[in-house]
A and B are shown apart, each in its own frame.
Chain A
Amino acid sequence: MGAVSLTNIVKNFGSFTAVQRMSLDIPEGAFVSLLGPSGCGKTTTLRMIAGLLDPSEGDITIAGRRVNDVPIHKRNLGLVFQNYALFPHKTIAENVAFGLKFRGVSRDDRERRVREALELVQLPDVGSRYPGQLSGGQQQRIALARAIVIEPDVLLLDEPLSALDANLREDMRVELKRIQQRVGITTVFVTHDQSEALALSDHIVVMSKGRVEQTGAPEDVYTTPATEFVARFLGASNILEATCLTVDGDGVTVEGPAVGRLTLPRERAPHVSGPGPVKLAVRAEKLKLERPDAADTSAAGDLVLDGLVETVDYQGLAARYFLRVGDVQLQAINMIDSHPFAEGERVSLRLRPRDCTLLAGSTQ
């Protein structure tokens, strides 16, 4: 059993079901992200683990102990909020020492541990200041120090980076990962930001409408989405309605608009068992744009399509193109070599069949 286990958790708010039969096992020391759009039930799940909400059904265990009836102050958790939630009338040192007071830690030990925690978050000299005198990023570090200093069984992070501005957010992301690895604490991280989840997690739990869509390592979830929702939510994907023709030892053959007929390796279609309607997911960055005259050197098995650039969304490092291929519109994200392609330009699109994923057709 993991450090945190959820078994058939259901949470109803009146007639609305926020979390539907969720089970999750978080290994000791793992960094697990609950990822999904707002309203997917990720924060509700976190609040149930924290003890701020009671599950309507199911069991929650932390460190092997069933905690359904254990009040929040006895669960030994570290909780970090989006808005930092530092006590504005207490100094930084008092904020960090707050949890230690309730754990019977002696005054000397308290001072030492507060000092260590402040060093861990690289803010050793702010102990005598008040939260209002620190920047947002610094406040969030203090909130992290306050949560970690009590040596909790689990660290729960509720969108801790969302209130920071873009550059700071990336710095804090690196910092968070460093601290988590150094302390080795089991961490549950709630976010709607896929890049945060991909960068930080050992496991990602993608949620939608109160259900778990997919669980797995970041790379697996990204490269092999299990459902159309995951394919669309993580990164940018083209989803094409296609038909599965045959499934055999060599692979899965599908026929779809724009792409025509192609054969995928079997492992790219883990959820397809036989012929029928399917969805073909193609990541936008897997569609490589080339000038038509350069496209002859195609490697064997690559699919080469003719397309017309309709819209260019220039992003500096890369560009996102909206292309017309036959009667469908596809999007492609390519690094910019020297110049981006221009609107109205004819291009060749190169696609390797093993970069496509087949999704079961029944999911919406």
Chain B
Amino acid sequence: MSLEEREARQPVLLLTPAITAVGLLLVVPLGFILVYSFWLRTATGADQAGFFLDNWREALSDPFYRDILLNTLKIAAVTTIVCALTGYPAAYFIARSRGNKALLLLLLMLPFWISYIIRTMSWINILGASGAVNSGLMALGLISEPLPMLYNEATVVLGLVHFLLPFMVLNVFVSLDGIDATLEDAACSLGATRWRSFLEVTLPLSLPGLAAGGLLCFVLAAGTYITPIVLGGPSDAMFANLVFEAIITQLDWPMGSALSLMLLAVLGALVLLYNHFLGMAQLMKGLS
């Protein structure tokens, strides 16, 4: 084999393990789900194989599903905005601190060592009827009855921000860390205040990181089902809860499959739109 041929083969060889894993663990199961979505669950509980559009018709026409989908997108959007507003300053602080960046990044990753579910449930001990906040306020005599703080949309957003903030901080940090700090000095020497030089130079150059972090937060938030179960009230169900409900509780695999593909399609369309307006190359630049 000639050198050129070997070199031409190399990328394929290097990609093979990843392609195999993605194929077997993602594409093939997705194919099963797609097939399932056209089956039908009969009244007896058994699945009937075939090509039925009933599940899709119900999922696409019932306003119940549409409202929950819109609510899901709204919660994901609010979560993303809160993550951006709180994560950006933190990322800026880490990127500009001298010497102990590695330690600060380690601290940022620390929450990942604890299970996401445990972290989510910890809010019950803080905001619950006998949680830290209520006990404290009652001990101080400020209130006589525990305040109902849990199980609403705000606590769902709170839990999601708690979960997703490190993703945002990391993405923004990477892009801020790649910006030459002398650019701000140069802007200041030309007459810009620190704040103006941030707005003119640092912020636009860090947008790819902010965009990447935002996309990640939005997609992860929109696909979550644990946070609404643990911290949400009965009316705060998100779309993934419907999938969970259909498949685990009702054992209606065909309907669950159709719903999960619907969510996948919506999020996929959003990613494509995002890609169209911001350019995946920009995101990649922010990540590299």
Contacts and interface: CB of A to CB of B under 8 A. Distances in A.
Interface string A60-75: 0000000000011111
Contact of B190 (A89, A98, A156): A98
A79 interface: yes
Interface string A199-241: 0000000000000000000000000000000000000000000
A73 B191 contact: yes
Contacts of A74: 191
Contacts of A73: 188-194, 197
Contact of A87 (B185, B191, B196, B201): B201
A318 B66 CA distance: 84
B191 A99 contact: yes
A81 B205 contact: no
A52 B185 contact: yes
Interface residues of A, number: 28
Contact of A150 (B188, B190, B193, B197): B190
Contacts of B193: 71, 73
B78 interface: no
A110 interface: no
B191 A85 contact: no
A274 interface: no
A79 B187 contact: no
Contacts, number: 65
A36 interface: no
Contact of B191 (A81, A83, A150): A150
A85 B185 contact: yes
B205 A88 contact: yes
A89 B204 CA distance: 8
Contacts of B196: 102
Interface string A37-74: 00000000000001010000000000000000001111
Q: Give the interface size class of chain B.
A: 10 to 19
A72 B204 contact: no
- B185, B186, B193, B201: which has the most chain A beta carbons within 10 Å? B186
A133 to B, nearest CB: 16
Contacts of B117: none
Contact of A85 (B186, B192, B194): B186
A76 B188 CA distance: 10
B143 to A, nearest CB: 48
B284 interface: no
B210 to A, nearest CB: 14
A103 interface: yes
A146 interface: yes
Contact of B186 (A71, A81, A89): A81
A160 interface: no
Interface string A93-108: 0000011011100000
A79 B191 contact: no
A77 interface: yes
A79 B192 contact: no
A85 B180 contact: yes
Given A83-B182, A87-B183, A72 B188 contact: yes
Contact of B189 (A79, A86, A87, A103): A79
A79 B205 contact: no
Contacts of A81: 182, 185-186
Contacts of B197: 73
A78 interface: yes
Interface in A134-167: 143, 146-147, 150, 156
A132 to B, nearest CB: 12
Given A83-B182, A85-B180, A78 B189 contact: yes
Nearest to B204: A89
A99 B182 contact: no
A349 B205 CA distance: 62
B234 to A, nearest CB: 48
Contacts of B189: 50, 72-73, 75, 77-79, 147, 156
Nearest to B179: A88
Interface centre among A73, A77, A81, A146 (most CB of B within 10 A): A73
Nearest to B181: A85
A77 B186 CA distance: 10
Interface of B: 180, 182-183, 185-194, 196-197, 200-201, 204-205
Interface of A: 50, 52, 71-79, 81, 83, 85-89, 98-99, 101-103, 143, 146-147, 150, 156
7 contacts: A71-B188, A73-B188, A73-B190, A79-B185, A147-B190, A150-B191, A156-B189
Smallest CB-CB A-B distances: 5 pairs = A102-B191, A99-B190, A79-B189, A85-B186, A85-B182
Given A50-B189, A99-B191, 12 more contacts: A50-B185, A52-B185, A73-B190, A74-B191, A76-B191, A79-B190, A83-B182, A85-B186, A87-B183, A98-B187, A102-B196, A156-B189
